[in-house]
A = this chain, B = another copy of it.
Amino acid sequence: MRTPHQESVLSRAARILEAFSQEEPALTVSEIARRTGLHVATASRLVGELVAHGFLGRDDDRRVRIGVRLWELAVRASPALSLRDTAMPFMEGVHDVVGHHVQLGVLDGDEVLFLERLSAPNSVINYTRIAGRLPLYASSSGLVLLAHGSADLKQRVLTGSFTACTPATPATPARLRVTLAEVRQQGYAYCPGYVHEEALGVAAAVRGANGRVVAALSVIVPNDPGAQAVVPVVRTAARGVSRALGAPTGKETAEV
């Protein structure tokens, strides 16, 4: 990693944007400097420029937040938006019937990134949030994306490090291989207690116009045997989104 002095302006700006999180959406300039390792004067100057472009906004109390303009630029022309827009009516249908959490995740790097989540009040516990991430091996969405991912991706994950969220998490290469084979064979992931003991995830693949898997549609429900009933609901919805995206017809589990 380059030191701050050799770093480009864009790289430093990126580190400033990365300093914000859902837990800490508002920071002072000195907090930003501390978190990014930038000098206060440098942080202050860059924050000023980012504010001028609307990428950051300043509160009345001078704390700084992510700006609505950044959101607008990111969303306006984002490929994620059209996928999410296409999926929404299907997800709403599932949410009306199943309740709890319905979510849409995509592969980004070696993780699943959630583009959308619909939740009902008093739903079962769920660690997903919009723009949140989970490891591929732990979550039902991640397992679907990994099962249909490239050989390189599988290799990286299988030889990487694992953190078991619960005893049920397939957090060893051997268990993960078996789980991925099941997902590919069944056409969906069924994950009782993999992320949290009280929750169960069911995910199915969404395919784009070229037939490749572009997302996973999933529900999170209480971890009890009644959850089997949601499997056809999730598979049907994922298939519906795929059709709406122009995916070729044919076997759901067929590889491209």
Contacts and interface: CB of A to CB of B under 8 A. Distances in A.
A106 B68 contact: yes
Contact of A49 (B8, B18, B53, B132): B8
Number of this chain's copies in the assembly equals 2
A246 B8 CA distance: 43
A49 B11 CA distance: 8
Contacts of A8: 9, 49
A110 to B, nearest CB: 13
Contact of A77 (B11, B13, B24): B24
A9 B57 CA distance: 19
Given A10-B13, A53-B14, A66 B77 contact: yes
A57 to B, nearest CB: 8
A65 B77 contact: yes
Nearest to A108: B68
Given A10-B53, A53-B14, A73-B17, A68 B89 contact: no
Provide the main secondary structure of the chain A interface: helix
A62 interface: no
Contacts of A79: 25, 57, 65-66, 68
Interface in A75-131: 75-81, 85, 88-89, 92, 95-96, 106, 108, 113, 118, 120-121, 130-131
Most-contacted residue by chain B among A9, A10, A95, A120 (CB, 10 A):
A10
A50 B20 contact: no
B74 A71 contact: yes
Given A22-B77, A75-B75, 6 more contacts: A10-B49, A10-B50, A20-B77, A70-B78, A72-B113, A76-B132
Interface of A: 8-11, 13-14, 17-18, 20-22, 24-25, 46, 49-50, 53, 55, 57, 65-66, 68-81, 85, 88-89, 92, 95-96, 106, 108, 113, 118, 120-121, 130-132
6 contacts: A20-B77, A22-B77, A22-B81, A68-B80, A71-B75, A75-B75
